């Protein structure tokens, strides 16, 4: 069996999954989400380096976007949602704090596919834009930084510079100071 040499996301994060396609192994990573099929099932997406995503069926990235838009793949629980955490049990969700917006999940999955293919994520591109602005603080570089920062999924905009305590204040102060 032919095995693809892999050095990206899985190596950095020490976790991964795979599927076999003919004589190749396609690497991927799991990502927690809900599948809304009557109940909301806490489960995981399986995101693969070839851009395929398993959300209880194997789909292309474009089909995945449709699954998110239709609500089949969800990051949000409505109040009183019935949730299944198989095989542990079921519960009704109350006092819900939803963090990841559906459109931000799509951006995050695209980032993961890029990382699986040793391409830069939106966070890495933002760091590069930030360094460019620091070297040459011009309006053009500020606009590049703004575009790069706003491309990062919102829930990941706290650790771009590697310091979660400062929540990327250095970038935000450049972009949003009055």
Q: What pLDDT tens digit does each residue of the chain (178 aa) get?
A: 333 444 444 555 556 789 999 999 999 999 999 999 999 999 999 999 999 999 999 999 999 999 999 999 999 999 999 999 998 999 999 999 999 999 999 999 999 999 999 999 999 999 999 999 999 999 999 999 999 999 999 999 888 888 777 778 889 889 987 5
Residue that finishes a domain, picked among 116, 142, 163? 116
Whether 72 maps to a domain, the answer reads yes
* 59 and 87 co-located in one domain: yes
Residue 79 and residue 15 share a domain: yes
The boundaries of the domain holding residue 31 are 9-116
Residue 112 shares a structural domain with residue 141: no
Q: How many domains, in total, are found in the chain?
A: 2
Cβ–Cβ contacts within 10 Å for residue 22, how many? 6
Alpha-helical segments (H) within 79-138? 102-116, 122-135
Residue 2 in domain: no
CB of 161 within 8 A of CB of 171?
A: yes
Could you say which of 76, 96, 116 is where a domain stops?
116
The pTM of the full predicted model, rounded to 2 decimals, is 0.85
* Distance of alpha carbon 35 from alpha carbon 114, whole angstroms: 24
Same domain, 57 and 27: yes
């Amino acid at each position: 069996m032919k095995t693809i040499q892999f050095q990206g996301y899985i190596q950095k994060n020490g976790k991964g999954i795979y599927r076999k396609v003919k004589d190749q192994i396609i690497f991927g990573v799991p990502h927690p989400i809900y599948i809304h099929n009557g109940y909301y099932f806490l489960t995981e997406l399986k995101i693969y380096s070839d851009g395929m995503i398993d959300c209880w069926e194997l789909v292309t990235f474009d089909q995945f976007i449709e699954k998110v838009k239709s609500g089949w793949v969800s990051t949000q629980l409505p109040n009183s949602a019935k949730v299944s955490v198989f095989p542990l049990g079921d519960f009704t969700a109350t006092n819900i704090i939803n963090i990841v917006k559906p459109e931000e999940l799509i951006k995050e999955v695209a980032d993961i596919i890029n990382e699986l293919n040793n391409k830069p994520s939106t966070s890495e591109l933002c760091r590069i834009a930030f360094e460019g602005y620091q070297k040459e603080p011009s309006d053009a570089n500020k606009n590049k930084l703004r575009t790069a920062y706003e491309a990062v999924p919102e829930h990941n905009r706290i650790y771009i510079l590697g310091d979660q305590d400062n929540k990327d204040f250095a970038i935000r102060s450049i972009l949003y100071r009055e």
